[in-house]
Amino acid sequence: MCGIVGYVGDDAAPQILVEGLNRLAYRGYDSAGHALMNGKGIKIFKDIGSPETVGQIVMKEKVHANSGISHTRWATHGGVTPENSHPHLSNCGRIALVHNGVIENYTVLKRRLEQNGVHFHSETDTEVLCNLIAQYYEDFRAQGLEDAFLQSVFAGLREVKGSYGIAAMCSEQPGTIITARLGSSLVLGIGNGENMVASDAAAFCGRTNNIVYLDDGQVACLTGKDFEIFNLDHERVTAEICEMEAREEHDYGRGDFAHFMLKEIFEQPEALRNSMRGRFSSDGSTTKFGGLNLEAKDLRRINRILFMGCGTAWHACLLAKYIIEKLARIPVDVEYASELRYRNAPIPDDTLCFVISQSGETADTLEALREMKRKGFETLAITNVVGSTIAHEAGGGIYQHVGPEIGVASTKAFTSQVLLATMVGVYLGRLRDLSMTEGMRIVKAMHELPEQIVQVLQKTQEIEAVAKKYADFNDFLFLGRQMMFPLALEGALKLKEISYIHAEGYPAAEMKHGPLALVSPTCPSLFIAPEDDMIEKVASNIHEVKARGGPVIVVTTEGSPLCEEKGIDIITIPQTHEALMPVLASIPLQLFSYYAAVARGCNVDRPRNLAKSVTVE
């Protein structure tokens, strides 16, 4: 949550910071701010509103500055007010700070600082850290310490309990930014005569592709010409500069699409091609992965798999269970990362632990991964963001390669996660009992999948019409059986998070055990019912809903018997291998939610109270 950008160099900092922060708006967008440094000290501009809105105000001011730190906020401590926005300035006016994370012992520190005469203007933990650093700075400065600023950051951080990614400036040391991380991602952008820091390398687009990933417990000191990295004991650490895949401005823009979510839905054919590229065996009967760091003989010994994730990624985990158990006959457990990390779950020795996370930064998923590593399990991750903390810390992994996902509602990342889990299923299956012919059938279907997604996308107008028809309802049920059950959960999450319609997902057969009581003319049910072994059973469930006056929408395959059903709305998708049906059936659900939210006038890309990466507990 929250996005940080810092710049120091020869160019005009305001423009670079505003553009960089706009690219991080997905991380939080309730308020934003900039601290700009020129010969006359630090100037702070901050307000409630999106980074774009606050950025316009800053640009109008035409401040001359060659360094600055900026922040886009997702509130944790204190409400959404201009005072609680970052950057914070210390009482003495010399230290400015932006912060992502939570300082857990901030009340104790605040009391102490207040006793020392510090006056607080906000309710934030960040202002406490800012003044803590400032107090040390005043002491060290009085002692005549040459590197008083750097020393004061070290001293402040040593007292802090919790998590942080910070960037700080000192009015008496212009042209220097000090940045540090513990549990909240930060990347340095190494340029020519300029250096940057950000929560996500997207902020560096168009300036540099050379980056350094800061590790937890590291502090970096940036000037325009140089950078140095230390551990918390102030020992110098050598850094590896990596060249990241060059990204263009359009990778981070909406193009002609009204929203990022719509753009990302439409990117899926290409995104899934990229997820699959280079990952098939030459005989076309199985899949292969470069980064697992586990030999086939090790994987054959695995007797259980544990998948962990949060939100949509958890739904991908649940689908992985259905798919891998079917293809590879390996028992799969699925846990919410947030629950598992605090539970002493008995996990058999020969378990392979897998986490799924688009951002690779979700705090609960990261901690669940660390807990499993600590217990000595083999760990793997499916992540999208290259160099993210989870990608870095997992024993091995699979990158999704779907490009930046900016819309808060996950779309292309989800389908890619499900597809990759299916590819893992094929791989593990082929190491066991999955026949060559069946392997070939699935691989062939995978090759056809992107084109089939295009066919579904061609039905956008039809789906939009259905979504508009139902957009005024306030309650929804999503129902499906077997692999369509996790998809029902995902469909319901997608609808509620962007349209604020209350929606619940259930296995269709569970209806009679409670949810059927909700069915009425004001509570529609959306069934995901491709033509498979379950279709007759789902048809009965549909009749049960219709008999009670519940409006029904059905997503089914072309030519299925449900297409003949009267008095319901039908959306059809092409037939594919059953293991790939969850991917294909996701597309109409995404479009349905999107258009329902648009019809209700919701801000699709920035749903209220949410942010893209949840880097706090």
**Could you list the residues that contact ligand M6R (CB under 6 A)?**
310-313, 357-359, 362, 365, 408-410, 497, 613-614
Between residues 43 and 259, which has the closer beta carbon with respect to ligand M6R?
259
Nearer to ligand M6R, 122 or 365 (CB): 365
Q: In what order do the strands lie in the sheet with 88-89?
A: 88-89, 95-103, 162-170, 177-182, 218-222, 227-231, 236-237
The pair phi, psi for residue 66, each rounded to 5°, is -110, 5
Nearest to 304 by CA among 346, 341, 336: 346
C-alpha span between 52 and 22 (Å, rounded) = 6
Under 8 Å between Cβ of 543 and 521: no
Tell me which of 2, 205, 310, 353 is the catalytic residue: 2
| Strand positions, DSSP E, 295-406 | 304-309, 332-336, 351-357, 378-383, 396-399
Q: How far is the CB of 358 from ligand M6R (least distance, A)?
A: 3
Nearer to ligand M6R, 497 or 578 (CB): 497
To ligand M6R, the closest distance from the beta carbon of 384 in angstroms equals: 8
Q: At its nearest, how many Å lie between ligand M6R and the CB of residue 478?
A: 14
Quick one: which of 4, 25, 367 has its CA closest to 183? 367
Residue 57, classified by CB atoms within 10 Å of its CB into exposed (0-12), middle (13-18) or buried (19+), is middle
CA separation for the pair 115, 117 (Å, rounded): 5
Q: Are 97 and 86 in contact (CB under 8 A)?
A: yes
Which residues partner with 170 through β-bridges?
95
Rounded CA-CA distance 324/428 in Å is: 8
Could you tell me which of 267, 290, 279, 120 has the C-alpha nearest to residue 590?
267
Cβ proximity to ligand M6R, 524 vs 607, nearer residue: 607
CB of 476 to ligand M6R, least distance (A): 16
Of the candidates 56, 420, 471, which has an alpha carbon nearest to the alpha carbon of residue 272? 420
Question: For ligand M6R, which residue has the nearest CB?
Answer: 311
Which helix (H) or strand (E) segment holds residue 230: the answer is strand 227-231
Q: Which is nearer to ligand M6R, 33 or 491 (CB)?
A: 491
CA angle, 279 then 283 then 285, to 5°: 70
Give the shortest CB-606-to-ligand M6R separation in angstroms: 11
Q: Closest approach of Cβ 26 to ligand M6R, in Å?
A: 10
Least distance from ligand M6R to the Cβ atom of residue 337, Å = 8
- Please identify, using beta-carbon distances, which residue of 3 and 311 lies nearer to ligand M6R: 311
* Choice among 263, 321, 496, 612 that is catalytic: 612
Q: Which is nearer to ligand M6R, 86 or 494 (CB)?
A: 494
Alpha carbons 584 and 576: distance in angstroms, whole number: 8
Cβ nearer to ligand M6R, comparing 511 with 616: 616
Neighbouring C-alpha atoms within 13 Å toward the C-beta of 251: 17
- DSSP for 264-293, written as a single string: HHHTHHHHHHHHHTT-B-TTSSSB--SS--
CB 406 to ligand M6R: min, Å = 12
- Per the structure block, which two tokens stand in for 370? 């660390």
Q: Round to whole Å and give the CA distance between 192 and 504.
A: 52
Shorter beta-carbon distance to ligand M6R: residue 365 or 560: 365
Q: How many CB atoms lie within 10 A of CB 143?
A: 9
* Angle in degrees, 0-180, between the axes of helices 125-142 and 148-159, rounded to the nearest 10: 130
Min dist CB 309 to ligand M6R, Å, is: 6
* Cβ neighbours for 274, distance < 8 A, ≥ 6 positions apart: 401, 402, 403
Q: How far is CA 338 from the centre of its chain?
A: 15
The verdict on whether 2 is a catalytic residue reads yes
| Residues tagged active-site | 2, 612
